[in-house]
Amino acid sequence: MTEQLRLMAVHAHPDDESSKGAATMAKYVSEGVDVLVATCTGGERGSILNPKLQGDPYIEEHIHEVRRKEMDEAREILGVKQEWLGFVDSGLPEGDPLPPLPEGCFALQDVDEAAGRLVKLIRTFKPQVITTYDENGGYPHPDHIMTHKITMVAFEAAGDPERYPEAGEPWQPLKLYYNQGFNKPRTIALHEALLERGMDSPYGEWLDRWKQFEQRERTLTTYIPCADFFEIRDKALIAHATQIDPDGGWFRVPMDIQREVWPTEEYELAKSLVDTSLPEDDLFAGIRNN
């Protein structure tokens, strides 16, 4: 390699980095790649999803600090660097009609202005590759959609000296990917593998509800072999104790079945300034040794 490879993963909340692409990041860290997670918000409005911790008055009163400590632990497990962009969690609005988003939250920021913080981080860290969410946010959480929007602006602007001149020397990332780990082929494959073995599947409801979230079938371009890092991924996810029930559906598929049936994490190549052949098995395809 002619220079250090650097990967930036842009996520909405603490815990997203451990549920989307975590095994990929751990794999690249093991290979000497410099990996940075950019976390847009502090997760302040996230619900306490682990039933064992619900009703804990300390956690409820100090959710911001608790989630920051969880992020510290997950970061150490994955071996990545991590930076906060400092926006305020928008929460997930529920009801019909949906209530307005809270004043000052991330999803209500001006996109170009908010993208400036990410541009500064890109120019400082100098990643060749960035991963984020697609235009639907992976699922339609307002913070995930906003994360997509600012990442698209920042990818284009970071290399332009006329844009955000106060954000440092220009740096142009070469590839941008959408996380597509929760894809239909993977879900069906694991679901059928469990049923074939006479086991219960946690994916029945997922498949029933798929149309609710999926706007269209996504194009999977890149399959990263990272089964050796699935256990690290799960440990990082469990570190986000307020968000993840260790006895929940995330962990119901035995590790040996996961490794046998679906040993990769998937991505959709959204932008590339280098030549590459699809499908890929490396986020740095077309970059290494160029």
DSSP letters, 109-174, are: S-HHHHHHHHHHHHHHH--SEEEE--TT-SS--HHHHHHHHHHHHHHHHTT-TTSSGGG-S----S
253-271 average pLDDT score: 97
How far, in Å, CA of 290 to CA of 288, rounded?
5
Query: Whole-model pTM?
Result: 0.94
Q: What integer pLDDT is reported at residue 215 of this predicted model?
A: 55
* Tens of pLDDT, residues 191-232: 999 999 999 998 888 888 776 665 567 899 999 999 999 999
Do residues 67 and 112 touch, judged by C-beta distance below 8 A?
no
- What pLDDT was estimated at residue 236? 98
With a cut of 70, say whether residue 290 has pLDDT above it.
no
Task: Tell which residue, 84, 81, 87, 79, has the closest CA to residue 126.
Answer: 81
pLDDT (tens digit per residue) in 62-110? 999 999 999 999 999 999 999 999 999 999 888 878 889 999 999 999 9
The proportion of the chain whose per-residue pLDDT surpasses 70, expressed as a percent, equals 97
pLDDT of residue 98: 82
Beta strands 222-225 and 264-272 are antiparallel
Q: Specify the pLDDT at position 2.
A: 46
How many other β-carbons are positioned within 10 Å of the β-carbon of residue 242?
A: 22
How far is CA 280 from its chain centroid? 19
Joined together, the tokens standing for residue 43 give 């997760």
Structure tokens at 274: 């280098």
Strands (E), the chain: 6-11, 34-41, 81-87, 129-132, 175-179, 222-225, 264-272
Of 132 and 290, the structure prediction assigns the larger pLDDT to 132
Cα-based distances in Å from 165 to 110, 154, 157, 218, 285: 18, 13, 10, 36, 30
Burial of residue 165 (number of CB atoms within 10 Å: 0-12, 13-18, 19+): exposed
Provide the pLDDT for residue 207: 84
Pairing of β 222-225 and β 6-11: unpaired
Mean pLDDT of 15-24: 97
The residue with greater pLDDT, 264 or 212, is 264
Residue found under tokens 């990917």: 177
Tokens coding 165: 């001149």
**pLDDT at residue 121 greater than cutoff 60:** yes
